């Protein structure tokens, strides 16, 4: 491989890394915010799936109806779907105090089922997969070599890295809401005694988290692909769960984890094309293996939030 080829390879790799990492940044920050309030939301896989579907369905139907901002309506639809699922999760785990593992898995099954059913209802069973014109990429540095292709990204990717990450950090560590949220996840008795409304804070954390997860899913359908398929999320929600532990519940570290995963994912795509004599499933498994490995190394002494998985009751 000569120098220019290598540079092209590297530039492509970096650009792809950021793209692959984007939905994981939304998902894992959504999960960080939820878990910091003491709730493990295993509904994330389903909520991302539903977000991808709702985003796509609303966008496609709006486009049919001739509405100009159809993609933005799609994004809004995804957010609404994520919020609704988060509220359901809140009903089960915060209000009723049910087991969070079971509730979360139930939400995932429900959301995936709803999406697949909804897809048939909305689009029927035509042989051609429906599609929409997705968000286009921004050419921030135009066609300049190196910087041009690296920064040719979707607006949602820019929002993820430049707005969401610092915003999530500020929210968690520098606002009264973030202080209440962390306290509710560490010691709800203490938060309650200090005058914090534990239930409301947990619901808000779930809702913010659910909305972000759904945006992460919608990024795939209405930005990257312009289509929806049953394999669209492919375990990304579960990866986010692992990233959150890897990140020790910190949004910045979660982003780093998402980028790491994105890099391995982008790398394996490229390795596949280099013609190694290995079944392609091995490459596909690589990012997940790296996730497990990273988790095994860093997750051992993880300091879980004090009230993780615990419903709160006054008496």
Choice between 187 and 298, CB closer to other proteins:
187
Under the criterion CB under 8 A, does residue 186 sit at the interface with other proteins? yes
Stretch that binds other proteins, among 105-113, 142-150, 170-178, 266-274 (CB under 8 A): 170-178
CB of 294 to other proteins, least distance (A): 23
- Note whether 315 binds other proteins by CB under 8 A: yes
Distance, CA of 311 to CA of 169 (rounded, Å): 25
Q: CB of 201: closest distance to other proteins in angstroms?
A: 10
Tokens representing residue 85 in the block: 């699922």
Region near other proteins per CB under 8 A, out of 17-25, 168-176, 271-279, 288-296: 168-176
Distance CA 137, CA 216 (A): 16
- Smallest separation (angstroms) from other proteins to the CB of 178: 8
Tokens 């994981």, residue located: 24
Residue tagged 């190694």 (tokens): 276
Work out how close the CB of 242 gets to other proteins at its nearest, in angstroms, rounded to a whole number.
22
* Closer residue to other proteins in complex, CB, 239/307: 307
Q: Indicate the residue among 126 and 176 with the shorter CB distance to other proteins.
A: 176
| 302 contact partners, CB below 8 Å, separation of at least 6 | 245, 248
Report the Cα 123 to chain-centroid distance in Å: 25
Residue whose C-alpha is closest to residue 133's, from 79, 68, 71, 78: 71
Distance CA 75, CA 58 (A): 8
DSSP three-state, residue 97: coil
User: For other proteins, which is the closer residue by CB, 105 or 186?
Assistant: 186
Residues 96-155 that bind other proteins (CB under 8 A): none
Residues 236/25, Cβ–Cβ less than 8 Å: no
DSSP string, 31-42: HHHHHHTT---T
The site string for other proteins over 193-232 (x = CB under 8 A, - otherwise) reads: xxxxx-----------------------------------
Asked if residue 163 binds other proteins (CB under 8 A), the reply is no
Q: Is 303 in the site for other proteins (CB under 8 A)?
A: yes
Pick one of 44, 54, 191, 242: the residue that binds other proteins (CB under 8 A): 191
Give me the phi and psi of 109, to 5 degrees please.
Answer: -60, -45
Query: How many angstroms separate the CA atoms of 288 and 182, rounded?
Result: 29
Cβ count near 134 (within 10 Å)? 20
CB of 313 to other proteins, least distance (A): 11
Q: Which stretch binds other proteins (CB under 8 A): 67-75, 81-89, 99-107, 190-198?
A: 190-198
Residues that bind other proteins (CB under 8 A): 174-177, 179-180, 182-183, 186-187, 189-197, 303, 306, 314-315
């Amino acid at each position: 491989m000569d120098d220019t080829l290598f540079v092209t390879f590297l530039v492509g790799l970096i650009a792809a890394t950021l793209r692959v990492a984007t939905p994981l940044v939304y998902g894992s920050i959504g999960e960080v915010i939820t878990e910091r309030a003491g709730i493990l939301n295993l509904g994330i896989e389903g909520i991302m799936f539903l977000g991808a579907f709702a985003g796509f369905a609303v966008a496609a139907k709006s486009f049919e109806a001739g509405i100009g901002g159809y993609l933005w309506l799609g994004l809004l639809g995804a957010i609404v779907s994520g919020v609704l699922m988060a509220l359901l999760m809140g009903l089960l785990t915060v209000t009723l105090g049910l087991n969070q593992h079971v509730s979360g898995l139930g939400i995932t099954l429900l959301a995936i089922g709803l999406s697949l059913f909804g897809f048939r209802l909305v689009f029927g069973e035509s042989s051609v997969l429906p599609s929409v014109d997705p968000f286009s990429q921004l050419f921030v540095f135009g066609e300049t070599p190196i910087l041009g292709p690296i920064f040719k990204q979707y607006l949602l990717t820019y929002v993820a890295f430049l707005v969401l990450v610092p915003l999530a950090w500020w929210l968690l560590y520098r606002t009264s809401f973030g202080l209440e949220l962390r306290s509710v996840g560490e010691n709800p008795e203490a938060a309650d005694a200090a005058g914090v409304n534990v239930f409301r804070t947990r619901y808000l954390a779930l809702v913010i988290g659910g909305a972000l997860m759904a945006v992460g899913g919608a990024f795939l359908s209405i930005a990257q692909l312009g289509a929806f398929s049953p394999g669209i999320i492919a375990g990304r929600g579960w990866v986010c769960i692992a990233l959150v532990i890897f990140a020790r519940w910190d949004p910045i570290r979660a982003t780093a984890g998402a980028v790491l995963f994105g890099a391995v994912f982008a790398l394996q795509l490229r390795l596949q094309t280099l013609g190694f004599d290995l079944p392609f499933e091995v490459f596909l498994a690589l990012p997940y293996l790296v996730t497990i490995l990273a988790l095994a190394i860093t997750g051992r002494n993880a300091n879980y939030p004090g009230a993780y998985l615990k419903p709160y009751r006054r008496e």
